[in-house]
Amino acid sequence: MNRDVRPIDPAVAAERLARLIRIDTVSSGDEETDAETFAAVGRELERLYPRSTERCTVTHVGRRCLQYRWDPAHESEPPATSPRATGPLVLMAHADVVPADAADGWQHPPFEGVIAAGSVHGRGALDDKGPLVAIFEAVESLAAEGFEPTRPLIISIGGDEETLGSGGADAAQAIDDAGDTPWLVLDEGGAVVDPPLPFVHGDNAMIGICEKGYASLRLRAVAAPGHSSTPTGPSAPDRLARAITRLQRRPFPAHLSRPVRAMLECLADGERGASRHVIRALAAAGPVTARIFAAIGGEPAALVRTTCAVTMLRAGTAANVSAPDATATLNLRIATGESIARTVRRVRRVIRDRTISIDVVTASEPTPVAPHDGGQFAAIGAAVAASHPGARPVPYPVMATTDSRHFHRRWPHVYRLAPVTMTAGQRASIHGIDEHITIDALGRAIAFHRALIRRSLGSPGSDPDE
């Protein structure tokens, strides 16, 4: 029997995931409350996974990060010629979740962890408690078998990823302070999905090799107040609406970045006949392809440009008073190769209104690009082959923001894949309604992590597929 995909009991894992979903880890805004909620997650993990927490040294990093370190029982480094010769394997996840309200139309209450119709339902099932459980299930089963890592395994669990807190930066700093240089860091980001583009066939494991930048900008317009029955000149909301309209009419320019080109080339290699030729042509025709993707909209457009979305608006205190003040919050995801400074300058230029102030609330530059032609990417691909036979490992740029960006500024081999099969509907449920993970997908995610840990940290000959 192939021990990488040995019989695991996904139903038991599903029950454990349901228990974690029942811990409401939405940020309250109160540091004491949030720290205690995160501590409750740590206590639950200790109850659910006694072997893992017994074998690992557990360190509290700040108030909302936990690191579990499984060190080798004996010094047994592989030969220096081995591609996995030095550094720990770091597996990341986060336990905090975004808000959810049953009144929004959830089929099952979002914090009850209902198991029904072959799935675990609730906020965090996909983002990111399901992947967290998969990591611990893999480690628990390997520990039960007597597996011994040749080098350290570090599980880094954040508690403030959704609010762009300091947990990810603290986690990276702690590993750096310990003198470690990770061989491979793997966080959430991509998933195992159905064809991401026309002409593509089969399942694809979309492995993030970089991450778009992030900026939250606050636009503020001011004007003299007055009675709404006798308006004079453009009001503050008028000025703000004009600025937003200008931004919508002049989106950021589209271009085919190196990561997107790499994605297309990899997809082409897995196709045959006309599909292969079409996708190769897209990879070669940079400007044309960028315009095509931008015209399609949605995810394809986000792959080739900096995006800008209005997420919050505020103005006025009474129905019959011309508002003297109006603000809008813009959320921008900055394309690889761009910068925060250039992005803000372009927003100012497009708005063309010096009376509107622009403040950067939070921001993070795009990350470097990890290589996809080395041993680390190959190890992820081999684990995908063990857990999701037939799925192709494909490099791509992650459009969301993850804690791993703090690691990528220090170390080169940082990747993003939640090894979970997700339909388009499930991807839409992340931060939406009816978030759920199938029990089968949870079992495959466990198999992925077992395979990755064996291949990365097992002694020579311990991997049955070698």
5-56 confidence digits (pLDDT tens): 446 899 999 999 999 999 999 988 888 889 999 999 999 999 999 999 999 9
Return the amino acid letter for 13: A
For the residues of 294-340, what is the DSSP string, one character each? HHH-HHHHHHHS-EEEEEEEEE-SSTTEE-SEEEEEEEEEEPTT--H
Considering the chain, what is the average pLDDT of its residues? 93
User: Is 385 within 8 Å of 281 (Cβ atoms)?
Assistant: no
CA dihedral 293, 295, 298, 299 (to 10 degrees): 0
* Range 84-108 average pLDDT: 93
Q: In the predicted model, is pLDDT for residue 462 greater than 70?
A: no
Task: Reply yes or no on whether the pLDDT at 234 is more than 50.
Answer: yes
List, for residues 253-264, the tens digit of each pLDDT value.
999 999 999 999
Residue 273 has pLDDT above 80, yes or no: yes
Q: Are 261 and 397 in contact (CB under 8 A)?
A: no
Predicted confidence at residue 86, as pLDDT, reads 83
pLDDT in tens, 344-374: 999 999 999 999 999 999 999 999 999 999 9
pLDDT at 78 over 80: no
Residues forming beta bridges with residue 2, ordered by sequence position: none
Which domains are delineated in the chain?
Answer: 3-210+368-457 (3.40.630.10), 211-364 (3.30.70.360)
Is the confidence at residue 101, as pLDDT, over 80?
yes
* Beta strands per DSSP E along 159-289: 184-193, 204-211, 213-222, 226-227
Radius of gyration of the chain (CA): 24
Q: How many Å apart are CA 83 and CA 186, to the nearest integer? A: 17
Site of tokens 């271009």: 255
pTM of the model: 0.92
